[in-house]
Amino acid sequence: MKKDLVSISDLSGAEIGELFRTVKDIKDQSRGLLGRSKYNDAVKGRTLVLVFEKPSLRTRASFSVAWAQMGGHTIYLAPEDIGLGKRESVQDVAHNLSRWVEVIAARTFKHSTIEELAHHSSIPVINALSDQEHPCQALGDFMTIKEILGTIKGIKLAFIGDGNNVCNSLMLTAARLGTNMWIAGPKGYAPKKKYVDLAKKAAKNSSASIIITEDPKKAVEDADAVYTDVWYSMGQEKEKTARKKAFKPFQVNSKLLSKAKPNAMILHCLPAHRGEEITDNVLDGPNSVVLHQAENRMHVQKALLYRILRK
């Protein structure tokens, strides 16, 4: 495993498998199944800094709790604390933090900011979300699928909605783990060619398939899992009206899900815009695993931090 996690492309399928085995071990030990957890003091006396340009519930809490449960201390730096690239250059921020803390988890607008932090930092940098990728989310999601279905390889995962950062990371993960992923969205909102090409290249080694369509019914047909996300994210507020109109036929509701397998799991990275990309009865329904996903973000990040610091 590399020093940094900037992209899912930094991980091989084998490394993701090893990460998931560590997650299982962490969860088993946290339940007392294997005696006192060896992870309790794994980062004692060490500090994780959260450098966030965007507000957060799950990312901030899950990283903070994961680090604390391993005995470490967390510092949260809000946008006004640093002013990345404005008040102080990204390069200088990376150099300074490298002298004080052990790990940086950054949540930024531009993906290039994460890349620049990693380039100039002598300590590990983890992408906690950028405009192009959300690797920790995708890893938590696939861990959830594995726990519930018992397998990842060969299943059909349908992603309905915008070809955004979450979609990109899901594609790259699916391609490495042998998952057949269908992505359905309106014309003009498909994932960028760069990420489709990267995913399809990786898929050749795992026998996965990555299929892009504008037909949500076809994407969901016989799917084992159906995933959706908001139609517009932070920074896209000006596009709200146009996006709501374009994505309206792509709402994940009971009618659309009648095409999927009867017990198809429902995934959403949250926060959700209820009544837009997903209906209440689906989000809160018996097949929804959104809270399982949210919990697994913490466990996956704990495993990721543990493995990176052991290198």
Rounded to whole angstroms, the Cα distance separating 81 from 102 reads 19
Predicted local distance difference test score (pLDDT) of residue 144: 98
Q: Which residues of the chain have pLDDT under 50?
A: none
CA-based nearest residue to 24, from 127, 150, 116, 195: 150
Rounded to whole angstroms, the Cα distance separating 246 from 242 reads 6
Degrees, nearest 5: CA angle 254-255-256: 95
**Model confidence over 256-277: pLDDT tens digits?**
999 999 999 999 999 999 999 9
Could you tell me if residue 192 is left (phi over 0), alpha (psi between -120 and 50 degrees) or otherwise beta?
A: beta
Rounded to whole angstroms, the Cα distance separating 304 from 63 reads 11
User: Do residues 139 and 304 lie in contact, with contact meaning Cβ atoms separated by under 8 Å?
Assistant: yes
CA-based nearest residue to 274, from 264, 288, 261: 288
Measured torsion, CA atoms of residues 240, 157, 298, 107, in degrees rounded to the nearest 10: -40
- What's the distance, Cα to Cα, between the start and end of the chain in Å? 8
Predicted local distance difference test score (pLDDT) of residue 37: 79
User: Do residues 163 and 132 lie in contact, with contact meaning Cβ atoms separated by under 8 Å?
Assistant: no
Residues taking part in catalysis: 107, 134, 137, 229, 269, 297
Rounded to two decimals, the pTM is 0.96
Measured torsion, CA atoms of residues 289, 293, 295, 297, in degrees rounded to the nearest 10: 180
Measured torsion, CA atoms of residues 123, 124, 130, 134, in degrees rounded to the nearest 10: -170
Degrees, nearest 5: CA angle 253-176-277: 15
Q: Residue 233: count other Cβ atoms within 10 Å of its Cβ.
A: 17
**Model confidence over 35-54: pLDDT tens digits?**
567 899 999 999 999 999 99
Tell me the domains of the chain and their CATH numbers: 8-134+297-310 (3.40.50.1370), 135-293 (3.40.50.1370)
Rounded to whole angstroms, the Cα distance separating 279 from 272 reads 10
Rounded to whole angstroms, the Cα distance separating 244 from 246 reads 6
Rounded to whole angstroms, the Cα distance separating 75 from 37 reads 24
Question: Could you give the C-alpha distances from 90 to 82, 85, 150, 234, 296, in angstroms and in order?
Answer: 9, 5, 42, 21, 30
Backbone angles phi and psi of 142, in degrees to 5: -70, -30
